[in-house]
Structure 1
Amino acid sequence: MCVLAGLALAPAAKAEDGHDLWLRYRPVEGPARAPYAAAGTAVAPTARTPTLSIAHAELERGLSGLLGAAPMVAEAGSRDGVILIGTPATSPAIAGLALPMKDAGDEGYLIRTVSIDGKQTTVIAANREVGVLYGVFRYLSLIQTRQPVDRLAIASAPKVGLRMLNHWDNLDRTVERGYAGQSIWDWWKLPDHADPRYAEYARANASLGINGTVLNNVNSKSLSLTAPWIAKAGALADVFRPYGIKVYLSARFSSPIEIGGLKTADPRDPAVKAFWKAKADEIYKVIPDFGGFLVKANSEGQPGPQDYGATHVDGANMLADAIGGRGVVIWRAFVYSHEQPDDRAKQGFSEFKPFDGHFRDNVVIQVKNGAIDFQPREPFHPLFGAMPKSNLGMEFQITKEYLGFATHLAYLGPMYEETLRADTLVKGKGSTVAKVIDGSLDGRKLTVMAGVANIGMDRNWSGSHFDQANWYAFGRLAWDPEASTRDIAADWARLTFSNDQRFVTPVVDMMMVSRETLVDYMTPLGLHHQMGRSHHYGPGPWVKGGERADWTSVYYAKAGADGVGFDRTAKGSNAVAQYAPPVGACFANLKCVDEKDLLWFHHLSWDYKLKSGQTLWDGLVTRYSRGVAGVDAMGETWADMSPYVDAERHGQVSNFLKIQRNEAQWWRDASVAYFQTFSRRPLPAGEKAPPLSLEAYEAMSFPYAPGI
């Protein structure tokens, strides 16, 4: 390979375990160090508030690691290279500069190179102290990625107001759909002992601008809202507060019965309203800046207002009134009706669209990126753009429930970007999902982007080194939903591994195709929900029966002798009608719909001709095989990167790629074996038959798969 030509020049990498994430602060070596030393060798004294003290300490920590010596305190007569941080309220020097701070808002920042008393000074300024902290992280990242810092004129402010992680962590420290070990919340030892890891967690999130965290699983327990557990949440809030992070709690809707002694949880009942008002008051006494409640109601067996003949509006507004102007209620749109649906993809829209404009101003409807459930690929959810009078938030999954858990390398940035850049066309061209989320499309002020966290007690936080990139990408996109995920991947690769372009270019290229590779070997051409039952590990296109049809794979593929795919056109479930007319018309039109979504919207003959000229059957098989080949290519790329990465991290990624290769082949073989029983067509030329019988694949069992 051509990359081998320069390997002898690559510096030896020291062993690392991944715990430092993208905040490694490794030394700038050689001649490259001089410009940075000149720009940042002395830090001006800073007001010692909790947040500014953290910002100052981070600046010292970063500069010490990057430049090899602790920065000096800037005194009168100091030479060039002074760094001044603060707000106009905490720094007379910054106030005197009269910087254009209005557009920075409450959380943004300015980084400027100015001359003060004839000295070159780097100013990191913000209206609020948390903005200063964000600016310090940004400044240090410039040095980490070897960008010039001698003539800076940076202004940055978040486009989304609430940028949150949703932890699906249980009180016994298991994590639903978690693949990185136990929950980091050691509830048993709280509130008296705050593990140092909590501050590390807050620091990592602050470096991305994440400002909220939901501590407990959406499948919540009422116990979380009792006094001892409120105290535990309060202890975490105390740790997070200086980092600009608020805590939220998932609230179980039946809590008035389970911990309140009532006989009902009907949101229209005065006693129920009084219970929630008293509970909110109790929480705010312990956590004055409590963010609010996240609620999963009337979904997957969870209690909700529909149990009493009430509506989502009744439930959400009752909780919103209990909280008042102190916080928000985030009400998930991931719902199931009690009746078996004609198409589960339609349920969220059907249940929420009629209530547009009926929710309180402090209610956010949190909508998954797609209408089913965090699949490797889904078209954007039809609710985006359909509720202009309501606050809509985005819910992405960072943990990889349906995407190979922690052992499959899949950079999710392109998946997030695909959704955010999708055009709803509700107000003409350019009405993107990103503009719905940041509020600009409909003039909404309360904006949210949430990600289901992939964090656990593993030393590397996320179960694998490359899964850190998904946490990082989520945070960056929550700050700016229109950012380029290729640029984000490049920054992450530089911060996490190496600035050597011989490393960065091939690794970023690998990351950018990794999710498409996974789609190929799992669910090509718009297939979806083809995973094993319950644990969602490995292929299970044969899954059928059980409590609900829409929890099975056969419900979605609808494979038969006549073809495969879910008809969502007017001849089928007519889910296309939930989109703006031009979008729905394109999805319904075989000449317009992108083939990546083909079988999501259409049931087609095995002999249907794809744009390549292949039949649908041949194209399906070759895409499965293309996915396997894609993992082979990633393995080859990573093998060439060993000179740039320490042996410990390189070895783990290599081992995981071997697992991914074996499981990609398993996906391909099992899926081909199953669908061939319906297509009854030979494999395309050069394609190998599955080595096992379909019965052998179906017989595989995984009762202890992680994350259940």
Structure 2
Amino acid sequence: MAIGQYGQVAGVAARGVARRVRAVAVLLLALWVWLPAATARAEDGHDLWLRYRALPAAQADAGRAVAAALAAPDASPTQAATREELLRGLGGLFGGAPAMTARIDRDGVLVAGTPASSPVLAKLGLDLSALGDEGYLVRSLRIDGHAATVIAANSDIGVLYGAFHFLRLAQSGQSLSGLDVRETPKVKVRVLNHWDNLDRYVERGYAGQSIWDWHKLPGWLDPRYTDYARANASIGINGTVLNNVNTSAQMLTPQYLEKARALAGVLRPYGLKVYLSARFSAPIEIGGLQTADPLDPAVRRWWQAKADEIYRAIPDFGGFLVKANSEGQPGPQDYGRSHADGANMLAEALAPHGGIVMWRAFVYSHEEPDDRAKQAYSEFVPYDGRFAANVLVQVKNGAIDFQPREPFHPLFGAMPKTPLMMEFQITKEYLGFATHLAYLAPMYQEALQADTHARGPGSTVARVVDGSLEGHALTGMAGVANIGSDRNWSGSQFDQANWYAFGRLAWDPHADAAQIARDWTRMTFSTDPAVVTPIVDMMMGSREAVVDYMTPLGLHHLMGRGHHYGPAPWVEGGPRADWTSVYYHRADARGIGFDRSASGSNAVAQYAPAVAAQFGDIATVPEPFLLWFHHVPWDHRMASGRILWDELVHRYGRGVDYVASMRRTWAGLAGRIDAERHAEVAAFLAIQEQEAQWWRDASIAYFQTFSKRPLPKGEKLPPHPLAYYQSLQFPFAPGDGK
């Protein structure tokens, strides 16, 4: 409004002003009533899989009959969170919150609690002895002659997990009668790793800024922190590493520990412990010492004092995640010490408080390697059994770096005396960022179900991770998160499925990827089979499609230098050979692939003999890993009957075709999915198809310079010469390291 208009308003009669004020007030009141309802109906992905939208009438009626009333305590923060979640969920799903009760005097009462918090459960004498601290029981039974359902556990957090399980059953349209569910987590430490910097930049993040607003903490606790905690608790995640593994020592200063303390207070009721990435050189950078040598007594005392300080602020602090002597990060090798020396020093400081160290095995030496895939094994296996009891060695699923496909890491099964923690990447650094639909649970499952043969057949990676193979009590799984300030949390609707799937597989590494996809789809989009079936089918083949159009047949690390966006198999030069693409594909006039057999780098020798024999023989190696382990002639005959060159071209095109088919499937769901989310996914699938075609064309144009062979009949030539693809530059691609 212009200044002159303000003068006119000032001259209006008092009665006119009053009328206008009343009219504005009525309008604002109407907007105040309408806007929350409109916002509640909005579907932008912010609610994740906890949407709690009303079920179809028949399912809602059946649900109300089971949970017409709720008996749940709220004396502790976790009890209050559980009660609030049940009221929220049941009210949204069944069209009205259940009545609150303290007695079983009718049918259809849902009882949630522990024997200590619920008089009703105390009288039942349920056997909860095998459930531990986090397990739960969900059971239909009769109490005093009335039909009831109980969610029972030994601890408040177990009850919360059980409540989320019950809501999952309801939300996904499953029957709530005749329930008899007993669940305990198979992995103890289930954490998200946030690669978030203190300036809110997220390394390898594709969903906006960090959700941790460090500048406003501790005074402002964003409500998103609570929603973040709810989402993680719903899938059994029990810890979060707040900061990047490439960390600043400032994270351990009193100023930032106070901020971490505030976050811990929000997350604690939902069972999430706070962990911090610790910079190994912190005693020098913020402690005033001249060394960070792990065997130096002054250094050890400094870390012990720092641990004491942290636990005074955060009594349930989980411990440290450490990246050391990798990619330029400081570590014990700077002082001639081992990884075990460094990890054990920190473990000693944390042990009196019950904390743990998660020591990453993603390392490679400063020397020029003959094969980077071998280095973690070489640096860690000699120290098997020498790590402290509260140390987990955190190992990536594959030996290179979160590629679209890698064989399982040879460390799994090679360190029987040391608990190994799985590290998966949820953010798709090498799989198309946020715009490519790639459901990662099949990739996770592929790694977990791989057989190490460490103790004969059946020695799966999952059994290494859950401790059952070697009898380890301390177990863990970590996921590198892609969670940020975007409204939909993950950069795209379908990337939420990877967060969800990670949590479910961290709880149970033996779970089925397809069933997880079905549950997520029912909770996220619809329980209508006409929606669920095509979406799940689309998801289950999506990761394989990315492998096809990016890195088929065992090719790897062919992405753009630094930012990892787009095809760049021609990358060479620079400070390290193993930071280039040509190092990994080794294409020449004879063939393509990295020879890791006995005649090459002999990386296969790091696997158990049965696995090494399979991978090391070109006749028996699974075709998905062919070019990972062998340099193969262009005219090698494949299982399809095609020669390798023709098969390579076929795989590239097959990946593009699958994306096109996903676009058609999704287009056919118009009207069955809310318009906003349908439009976003449709736009992203269009981007994915365009970029898949780019990958196909650029890769074929480059590799054809070595194969010197024509494209198979029916295959189209790339529309541009190789020089065009090589000229493309992306200096501001998101997620690159700083």
TM range (shorter): over 0.9
Look up the SS of the partner of 1:643 in the other structure. Answer: coil
Matched, 1:572 2:600: yes
Query: Cα offset for 1:45?
Result: 4.4
Q: For 2:113 and 2:499, how far apart are their aligned partners in 1?
A: 28
Q: For 2:570 and 2:387, how far apart are their aligned partners in 1?
A: 41
Matched, 1:349 2:377: yes
Q: For 2:447 and 2:560, how far apart are their aligned partners in 1?
A: 25
1:314 counterpart residue number: 341
1:30 counterpart residue number: 57
Look up the SS of the partner of 1:450 in the other structure. Answer: strand
2:331 counterpart residue number: 304
Query: Cα offset for 1:194?
Result: 0.7
Given candidates 28, 39, 57, the residue that maps to 2:84 is 57
1:17 counterpart residue number: 44
1:512 counterpart residue number: 540
Q: For 2:102 and 2:279, how far apart are their aligned partners in 1?
A: 56
Report if aligned partners of 2:241, 2:321 keep a CA contact under 8 Å in 1.
yes
**635-644 vs 72-81, which deviates more?**
72-81
1:624 counterpart residue number: 652
2:688 counterpart residue number: 660
> After superposition, where does 1:226-625 map in structure 2 within 5 Å?
226-325=253-352, 326-625=354-653
1:583-634 superposed Cα distances (whole Å, 9 cap, x missing partner)? 0100011221110000000001111111111111110011101111011011
Look up the SS of the partner of 2:333 in the other structure. Answer: helix
1:537-556 superposed Cα distances (whole Å, 9 cap, x missing partner)? 00000000001100000000
Matched, 1:644 2:644: no
Query: Cα offset for 1:31?
Result: 2.3
Q: For 1:637 and 1:449, how far apart are their aligned partners in 2?
A: 34
1:643-663 superposed Cα distances (whole Å, 9 cap, x missing partner)? 221010000000000000000
1:10 counterpart residue number: none
Query: Cα offset for 1:95?
Result: 1.9
> After superposition, where does 1:111-130 map in structure 2 within 5 Å?
111-130=138-157
Q: For 1:360 and 1:429, how far apart are their aligned partners in 2?
A: 29
Q: Which amino acid aligns with 1:266?
A: D
Query: Cα offset for 1:75?
Result: 5.0
Report if aligned partners of 2:104, 2:144 keep a CA contact under 8 Å in 1.
no
**573-582 vs 39-48, which deviates more?**
39-48
The alignment's TM-score, normalised by the length of structure 1, stands at: 0.97
Q: For 2:145 and 2:317, how far apart are their aligned partners in 1?
A: 46
Q: Which amino acid aligns with 1:621?
A: V
Report if aligned partners of 1:15, 1:647 keep a CA contact under 8 Å in 2.
no
**532-541 vs 32-41, which deviates more?**
32-41
1:106 counterpart residue number: 133
CA gap of 1:417–1:484, structure 2 versus 1, over 3 A, is same
Query: Cα offset for 1:92?
Result: 2.4
1:289-347 superposed Cα distances (whole Å, 9 cap, x missing partner)? 00000000000000000011111011000010011142000000000111011000000
1:692 counterpart residue number: 720
2:247 counterpart residue number: 220
Q: Which amino acid aligns with 1:239?
A: V
Q: For 2:56 and 2:173, how far apart are their aligned partners in 1?
A: 11
Report if aligned partners of 2:439, 2:494 keep a CA contact under 8 Å in 1.
yes
Q: Which amino acid aligns with 1:417?
A: Q
Q: For 1:128 and 1:693, how far apart are their aligned partners in 2?
A: 64
Given candidates 144, 149, 159, the residue that maps to 1:132 is 159
Report if aligned partners of 2:71, 2:103 keep a CA contact under 8 Å in 1.
no
Gaps of 5+ in 2: 1-39
Report if aligned partners of 1:47, 1:86 keep a CA contact under 8 Å in 2.
no
Q: For 1:456 and 1:75, how far apart are their aligned partners in 2?
A: 41
CA gap of 1:47–1:199, structure 2 versus 1, over 3 A, is closer
Query: Cα offset for 1:33?
Result: 2.0
2:73 counterpart residue number: 46
Q: For 2:269 and 2:138, how far apart are their aligned partners in 1?
A: 21
**594-603 vs 605-614, which deviates more?**
605-614
**91-100 vs 245-254, which deviates more?**
91-100
Query: Cα offset for 1:35?
Result: 1.4
Q: For 2:624 and 2:464, how far apart are their aligned partners in 1?
A: 24
1:364-403 superposed Cα distances (whole Å, 9 cap, x missing partner)? 0000000000000000000001111001000000000000
**670-679 vs 146-155, which deviates more?**
146-155
Look up the SS of the partner of 2:636 in the other structure. Answer: coil
2:708 counterpart residue number: 680
Look up the SS of the partner of 1:331 in the other structure. Answer: strand
Q: Which amino acid aligns with 1:206?
A: A
Q: For 1:90 and 1:424, how far apart are their aligned partners in 2?
A: 45
1:82 counterpart residue number: 109
Report if aligned partners of 2:104, 2:146 keep a CA contact under 8 Å in 1.
no
Report if aligned partners of 1:47, 1:90 keep a CA contact under 8 Å in 2.
no
Look up the SS of the partner of 1:600 in the other structure. Answer: helix
Look up the SS of the partner of 2:604 in the other structure. Answer: helix
Given candidates 175, 183, 190, the residue that maps to 1:163 is 190
Q: For 1:91 and 1:73, how far apart are their aligned partners in 2?
A: 14
Aligned-residue CA RMSD in angstroms?
Answer: 1.0
Look up the SS of the partner of 1:644 in the other structure. Answer: coil
CA gap of 1:76–1:347, structure 2 versus 1, over 3 A, is closer
Q: Once the two structures are aligned, what percentage of the paired residues are identical?
A: 67
Look up the SS of the partner of 2:592 in the other structure. Answer: coil
Query: Cα offset for 1:117?
Result: 1.4
Q: Which amino acid aligns with 2:120?
A: A
Report if aligned partners of 2:103, 2:120 keep a CA contact under 8 Å in 1.
no
The alignment's TM-score, normalised by the length of structure 2, stands at: 0.94
Report if aligned partners of 2:72, 2:113 keep a CA contact under 8 Å in 1.
no
Gaps of 5+ in 1: 1-12
Q: For 2:735 and 2:641, how far apart are their aligned partners in 1?
A: 41
Q: Which amino acid aligns with 1:73?
A: M
Query: Cα offset for 1:79?
Result: 2.2
Q: For 2:249 and 2:674, how far apart are their aligned partners in 1?
A: 46
2:12 counterpart residue number: none
Report if aligned partners of 2:592, 2:634 keep a CA contact under 8 Å in 1.
yes
Q: Which amino acid aligns with 1:300?
A: E
Count of residue pairs brought into register by the alignment: 696
1:389-445 superposed Cα distances (whole Å, 9 cap, x missing partner)? 001000000000000000000000000000000000111111000000000000000
Report if aligned partners of 1:14, 1:646 keep a CA contact under 8 Å in 2.
no
1:27-84 superposed Cα distances (whole Å, 9 cap, x missing partner)? 1222222211110010114142110111011111111101111210125574211111
Q: Which amino acid aligns with 1:131?
A: G
Matched, 1:202 2:215: no
Matched, 1:143 2:170: yes
Query: Cα offset for 1:91?
Result: 1.6
1:131-174 superposed Cα distances (whole Å, 9 cap, x missing partner)? 00000011011111111112111100100000000000000000
Q: Which has the higher contact order (CA 8 A, sep 6+)?
A: 1
Q: Which amino acid aligns with 2:693?
A: Q
